[in-house]
Structure 1
Amino acid sequence: MALSDTKLRSLHGKPYTGSPELSDGDGLGVRISPLGAMAFQFRFRWDGKAQRISLGKYPAMGLKDARALVGELRLLYDKGINPRTYFDMEHASSDLTVKQCLATWMDDYVRKQLRTNTINLYEAIVVKHMTDAFKGRPVNSISVKDWISFFSAQEKASQKRARMMLIQAKSAFSWCLRRQLIDRCEIMRIEPKDVGQRSETGERVLTFNELAQIWIAIERSRASPANKLLHQLVMMWGCRLSELRLALRPEFDMKDLIWTVPKEHSKMGNIIRRPIFSQAEPIIEKLMDAYDNVMFPGHDLNEPLSISAANRYIGRIRDDMEGFGYWRAHDFRRTVVTRLSEEGVAPHVTEKMMGHDLAGVMAVYNKHDWLDEQRKGYELFADKLYWHIKNFK
């Protein structure tokens, strides 16, 4: 019978008289001592002999992580490679510090296998704020109390960032545990619910009058033209911020009036085609006249505006709009879809406007982008927005 977290929690640390080993499947099992100490192990046969590899102690290693590690070991086994070689890494050491663990995880996994946006997210949170934590101390010497004190200090700066930092850190240390770079990490005993606050699921749909107020606040603010125009275009296109923030000049076909987002800039890894509608065209031309290849540069004209600079800017705009309530740039996406749906724009068109792939059979066989229908939808939305801007003033 497969193991479960509930069963493991019920047995851990308590007197135990049952079978010394419980099986989960695919060679994964957990050994339990009479005192309730538990450790995961992987059983397999090599050269006709039974083999066993110790994976890690519970709860420092969770069931989910143990299953993930066994999956990787099974892949080696199926390829005719001894699973023990998985742990033969030249930099393996149980004395790694937080900084060394994060650096190894980033270099050997994150930067090699994950998308640019995810890499940037890890660098902006866990790498930036945890690299210098517990300087010189081996990870396995840091107690739960030490970790709680660290995150309590982080909560004072930002509740939501503290929780996200914990989640990302657990991913990093779990990766290190599975590769036996460290033999334990007490942070794995802390649950996300114990730290900070969860990022709220966005629900706000802005009215056209509210959009007009934000637009005017952007116009009146002190910021670079690139930063201002970036957010005004995001408001009208309903695109993800980084799809536009990272945009380069060749992505904008001013002859056929099509903006093509390459898969490298897309969250879902797909190519997105959107029309350059009539109200957006002069803004794009203005940007092309002002800048070179990078359409929305930061301090360095050859580098895109950073996500932190864009977020700080919106934070300043939001703080200056007293009594307006909380909103964020991502709410523009929900607003575009909702308002156009109210105007009768078909769901498959708004899905394409948002850069989503269609579901089911249509995703396989229908590659049409409905650019004409998208264009009409965007122009309808922009017309209503401009009317409210004009009348609000």
Structure 2
Amino acid sequence: MMHSIIYNLCEGDVALTDSWLRSVLGKPTDKMITKSDRDGLSVRVTPKGKIIFQLRYRWNGKADRIDIGTYPATGLKEARDIALFYRSELEQLRNPKVVKQTKIETAITAKTIEGVLRDWWETAVKNKHVNDKDVLRGFEIHIFPRIGKIPHDDASLHIWLSLLEDIIKKTPATGGKLLQYIKLAHKWGCRRGIIKNSPLMEVTVSDLGVKSNQGDRTLNDNELRLLFSIIDNPSYSLRNKCLIKLCLLFGCRVGELIRAKVSDFDLDSRVWTVPPENHKSGRKVKKPIIRPIIEPAAELIRDLVFLGEGSDYLMPSPSGGHIHKGGHVYICESLNNKMASQLKDYVKWSIHDLRKTMRTGIADLTMPHVAEIMLGHKLLGVWQVYDKHTYLDEQREAYEKWWDKLTKIVYHSPSQKYPA
């Protein structure tokens, strides 16, 4: 046989024991001591008393050996298990020395959790997703500081769940989104052979105690009246009021407003153009969303332009760019706390629920395909092939009817001069 373990425990020899290993550990000797065990395992004791476990074997007819650990960092039982592992590799015609070197190189080049998530973001998300920077920021805040340096394939399901459950206790929505992004990154990494496992693949947000209200939460008339009474108060932030009302009026995604530049709003032609890079499907369809601006919306936009003091952005940050998307979470949280103190059995809402409220509110005011265009949705079926019309007039009529309907609910009379 070309490849074999060298068995040199001769009759009369005694297998290694912990007591013998302890007796020679750290004891200076005049010469190198070699003592055999079984399955090709042996130890070398240096003149300084260092004990090295070795595996001796033959490969291609030649004797060879590899170090497999030092005592006591590697115990006798563990050394025997490692020797059996390499014996199995040898029987599968794999050279133990090559197997060991491969394991070392794999460990050195192993992707950390941070490395995997960053690679996925750079390859699959950056400049391809409207919220690309928010995705990375979520990792940088919640994931990288705590477990980012751990080799990905060494991270157990318990490590992931402990982290996500801690996040969900504070911000359930954030934890749910992070789970979604991490699972996508794991799937991407496995397909490319970058990682070997995807521990969260079978985990759902409901497993983590996050209740989804997808499609359920809209604000009723009493809640809308209370919401407007809070944000109409002169002491309330004008910018936050404009943000809430524009989201409710247009039914737009909050990111479309937060990223908007003043130049996107043509108040002479009364048209808001949402560029492809600012809306969810824009980078795929490469088309803008075109919305008409009715007078109540124009007043809110003028207020924001005034507050921006010449900024290019409709809602600028102190640093000069647009405000960070996550800022709206705190606005909604504050409003929810105020509303919850005044309403029984109150259920919190998110900024996206204003969009649902608007869609529900216009259901009986316009045709379904016009409502979908107002939301920035892509038309389905033959509509998307043959219908390239922007329906600006139909949208404008629907927005006016919707704001009249809303002001009747909130102020008990339509078309008030005080829309903001």
Q: Is the 8 A contact 1:340 1:381 kept in 2?
A: yes
User: Which residue, out of 355, 367, 383, partners 1:346?
Assistant: 367
Q: 1:123 to 1:222 in 2, by over 3 A?
A: farther
Match in the other structure for 1:319: 337
Alignment of 1:137 with 2:150, yes or no, is yes
Q: How far apart, in 2, do the equivalents of 1:257 and 1:179 lie?
A: 49
Q: How far apart, in 2, do the equivalents of 1:94 and 1:180 lie?
A: 13
Q: Is the 8 A contact 2:272 2:293 kept in 1?
A: yes
Deviations 1:58-94 (A, max 9, x none): xxxxxxxxxxxxxxxxxxxxxxxxxxxxxxxxx9965
Matched position secondary structure for 1:374 = helix
Larger radius of gyration: 2
Q: Which has the higher contact order (CA 8 A, sep 6+)?
A: 1
User: Which residue, out of 293, 296, 305, partners 2:315?
Assistant: 296
Match in the other structure for 1:245: 258
Q: Is the 8 A contact 2:130 2:280 kept in 1?
A: no
Match in the other structure for 1:115: 129
Match in the other structure for 2:278: 265
Q: Is the 8 A contact 2:187 2:198 kept in 1?
A: no
Matched position secondary structure for 2:146 = coil
Q: Is the 8 A contact 1:314 1:328 kept in 2?
A: yes
The letter for the 2-side match of 1:116 is V
Q: 1:93 to 1:267 in 2, by over 3 A?
A: farther
Shift of 1:138: 1.8
User: Which residue, out of 247, 251, 264, partners 1:234?
Assistant: 247
Q: 1:388 to 1:158 in 2, by over 3 A?
A: closer
Q: Is the 8 A contact 2:157 2:199 kept in 1?
A: yes
Output the TM-score relative to the length of structure 1. Answer: 0.68
User: Which residue, out of 107, 112, 134, partners 1:97?
Assistant: 112
Q: How far apart, in 2, do the equivalents of 1:380 and 1:336 lie?
A: 11
Match in the other structure for 2:377: 356
User: Which residue, out of 368, 371, 389, partners 2:392?
Assistant: 371
Matched position secondary structure for 1:321 = helix
Output the TM-score relative to the length of structure 2. Answer: 0.64
Q: 1:97 to 1:295 in 2, by over 3 A?
A: same
The letter for the 2-side match of 1:278 is E
Percent identity, please. 30
Q: Which moved more, 1:248-257 or 1:332-341?
A: 332-341
- Structure 1: tracts of 5 or more residues without a match: 1-90
Q: How far apart, in 1, do the equivalents of 2:407 and 2:184 lie?
A: 45
Q: How far apart, in 2, do the equivalents of 1:372 and 1:341 lie?
A: 17
Q: 1:336 to 1:162 in 2, by over 3 A?
A: closer
Q: Is the 8 A contact 1:204 1:331 kept in 2?
A: yes
The letter for the 2-side match of 1:115 is H
Match in the other structure for 2:5: none
Match in the other structure for 2:358: 336
Matched position secondary structure for 2:199 = helix
Q: How far apart, in 1, do the equivalents of 2:148 and 2:359 lie?
A: 48
Matched position secondary structure for 1:273 = strand
The letter for the 1-side match of 2:113 is V
Shift of 1:223: 6.0
